[in-house]
A and B are shown apart, each in its own frame.
Chain A
Amino acid sequence: MYPPRFEYEAPETVAEAVGLLVEGHGSAKVLAGGQSLIPMMKTRFASPEMLVDINGISDLEYHRRDADGSIRVGALCRHATLEQSQVLADHQPTMAAASALVADPIVRNRGTLVGSLCHADPQGDWAAVMASLGASVIAQGPTGERVIPVQEFAVGPFQNALAYDEIAVAAVVPPPKGKPEGGYLKMERRVGDFATAGVAVSLDRSAGGVARAGIALTGVGPRTIVAEEAAAILVERGLDPDSIAEAARAAAGAAQPKTDHRGTAEYKRHLVEVFTSRILKRIAGSSEEAA
């Protein structure tokens, strides 16, 4: 309940923050929303020597859709902002669907999408959503920026690809190759529960076909799983009852669940199939209605 001691700095620019990380030589940790880090410190699973609180860097508090159709989410953009975002409601259905399912409403006022990616919890919702969209993390270090695909960003449970002197300043969703459609479903036994299993589906649809597909899975492996084969089936064959069933099976096949108190491996794999199928059927159904 009581965090250990640490030095605390609250820089006002990214450059200043990076400077503090450089000085820290790996002993400093970035504090954004803090909704995972502070509980871990309270229970003493984490004890950084220094916290670099970036909440004062107001430049990072944004999300926007750029002219090319890409969506950029700054490191201080809170889940609640995304939940209420007109930009997402209009242009990015997978993110819109997931934004209300992260943690609980109060946590969403504080926690951030980028922080969630950095936390690299295999049960984190945003990692699957962003992976399904082929998104990247922008890391800023002393020598400049680098772009890390979300798929490569989590290198293990609770481990990300950032160097000690880098800050994840934004996440970027590339421009869609058609009309973006998608959804996010997760099994949570009550609000705020970690996912027993979750599925993010993102499609770019054009001319009746699927120009791009991404399917990623929450909570069914040592890290977020990208179901590439399942996505390929949809791009190749479009959305029909057979391709949906096959893609759902392929997604389930890609899962690497473990049995635990949230359910058996078999059950979690089954949920992946059901959720994938449900999202795809809904997309197929709504486009039929539109036609």
Chain B
Amino acid sequence: MGSLFEVVPADTQDEVPRRRVTVTVNGTPMSAVIETRLLLVHLLRQAFKLTGTHMGCDTTHCGACTVLFDGKPVKSCTMLAVQADGHEITTVEGLAGPSELHPIQEGFKEEHGLQCGFCTPGMMLSAKALLDRNPDPDEDEIRWALSGNLCRCTGYQNIVKSVQWAARKMNPQQGQEVSE
């Protein structure tokens, strides 16, 4: 039998439940034949080689695996890959444009919003969903929106500043100018 994480031979004849899924990941349709039990995070990391999405817990708490599912943050360790069939996923690898960083990425670097970097992709995607919905959030709104993502390094204060930096850059007329 083929491994879950490897290409499955076309003539596999065992009893293992499998499905073909097609998912639009960062704008590109991608397809794979997978076991039905495969978690979305493993589809992204192993089948699609997008290792920016991390795993940090077993119980849907840490948020390191956060991706955008049809634009909304979800914990990809708590969705089955088959559930993504026909849907759109954005991972950290899809945040930046071809030549430039997303303002949230810049903000995290400018305001030292990361240390070990492990929670960062999930944190940035939650921040993106927040700014998409609320372009000028206050500190409480930012802290509330990020409260499904755990960080052990930063103490969150600089993450809040990073999101504020991005908000200013994305909407220069709001609040203060971005200081370089």
The answer on direct contact between A and B (beta carbons under 8 Å) is yes
Which residues in A have some Cβ–Cβ distance to B below 8 Å? 1-8, 10, 31, 34-35, 38-39, 42-43, 51, 53, 55, 80, 103-107, 109-110, 191-192
Question: CB of B24 within 8 A of chain A?
Answer: no
Which stretch of B60-68, B96-104, B106-114, B164-172 is in the interface?
A: B60-68
Question: CB of B59 within 8 A of chain A?
Answer: yes
Q: Please, how many angstroms separate the alpha-carbon atoms of A3 and B39 in the complex? A: 8
By the criterion CB–CB under 8 Å, are B79 and A38 in contact?
A: yes
By a CB distance below 8 angstroms, the chain B residues around A53 are 80, 82-83
By a CB distance below 8 angstroms, the chain B residues around A110 are 74-75, 78-79
Cross-chain pairs A/B with CB under 8 angstroms, 7 sampled = A10-B83, A34-B80, A39-B78, A51-B80, A53-B83, A104-B61, A105-B126
By a CB distance below 8 angstroms, the chain B residues around A4 are 37
By the criterion CB–CB under 8 Å, are A192 and B61 in contact?
A: yes
Name B74's contact: one of A3, A10, A39, A106 (CB within 8 Å). Answer: A106
B78-95, CB < 8 A from A: 78-80, 82-83, 85
By the criterion CB–CB under 8 Å, are A34 and B58 in contact?
A: no
By the criterion CB–CB under 8 Å, are B147 and A10 in contact?
A: no
Name A7's contact: one of B17, B39, B69 (CB within 8 Å). Answer: B17
Name B66's contact: one of A3, A31, A106 (CB within 8 Å). Answer: A106
Given A105-B145, A191-B148, does the pair A34, B17 have CB atoms closer than 8 Å?
Answer: no
Name B149's contact: one of A2, A31, A106 (CB within 8 Å). Answer: A106
Q: Please, how many angstroms separate the alpha-carbon atoms of A51 and B83 in the complex? A: 11
Given A104-B147, A105-B145, A106-B74, does the pair A39, B36 have CB atoms closer than 8 Å?
Answer: no
On chain B, which size bracket covers the interface? 20 to 34
Give B64 Cβ to nearest chain A Cβ, in Å: 11
Closest to B16 in A: A5
By the criterion CB–CB under 8 Å, are B78 and A38 in contact?
A: yes
By the criterion CB–CB under 8 Å, are B78 and A105 in contact?
A: no
Given A3-B37, A7-B36, does the pair A42, B147 have CB atoms closer than 8 Å?
Answer: no
Give 8 nearest A-B pairs by CB, closest first. A104-B148, A106-B148, A8-B36, A191-B147, A109-B72, A105-B148, A3-B37, A38-B78
By a CB distance below 8 angstroms, the chain A residues around B60 are 35, 38-39, 107
By a CB distance below 8 angstroms, the chain A residues around B16 are 5
Given A4-B37, A6-B37, does the pair A106, B63 have CB atoms closer than 8 Å?
Answer: yes
Name A43's contact: one of B58, B75, B79 (CB within 8 Å). Answer: B58
Given A43-B59, A191-B147, does the pair A6, B74 have CB atoms closer than 8 Å?
Answer: no
Q: Please, how many angstroms separate the alpha-carbon atoms of A105 and B133 in the complex? A: 13
By the criterion CB–CB under 8 Å, are B80 and A8 in contact?
A: yes
Closest to B125 in A: A106
By the criterion CB–CB under 8 Å, are B58 and A42 in contact?
A: yes
Question: CB of B19 within 8 A of chain A?
Answer: yes
Closest to B17 in A: A7
Closest to A191 in B: B147
Q: Please, how many angstroms separate the alpha-carbon atoms of A15 and B74 in the complex? A: 28
By a CB distance below 8 angstroms, the chain A residues around B147 are 104-105, 191-192
By a CB distance below 8 angstroms, the chain B residues around A10 are 82-83, 85
By the criterion CB–CB under 8 Å, are B17 and A5 in contact?
A: yes
By a CB distance below 8 angstroms, the chain B residues around A8 are 17, 19, 36, 80, 82
Give A108 Cβ to nearest chain B Cβ, in Å: 8
By a CB distance below 8 angstroms, the chain A residues around B39 are 2-3, 38, 42
Q: Please, how many angstroms separate the alpha-carbon atoms of A191 and B60 in the complex? A: 12
Give B74 Cβ to nearest chain A Cβ, in Å: 5
By a CB distance below 8 angstroms, the chain A residues around B74 are 106, 109-110
By the criterion CB–CB under 8 Å, are B37 and A106 in contact?
A: no
Closest to A104 in B: B148
Give B120 Cβ to nearest chain A Cβ, in Å: 15
Name A34's contact: one of B36, B79, B126 (CB within 8 Å). Answer: B79
Q: Please, how many angstroms separate the alpha-carbon atoms of A35 and B16 in the complex? A: 25
By a CB distance below 8 angstroms, the chain B residues around A39 are 58-60, 78
By a CB distance below 8 angstroms, the chain A residues around B80 are 8, 31, 34, 38, 51, 53
By a CB distance below 8 angstroms, the chain B residues around A34 are 78-80, 83
Name A5's contact: one of B35, B58, B83 (CB within 8 Å). Answer: B35
Give B23 Cβ to nearest chain A Cβ, in Å: 14
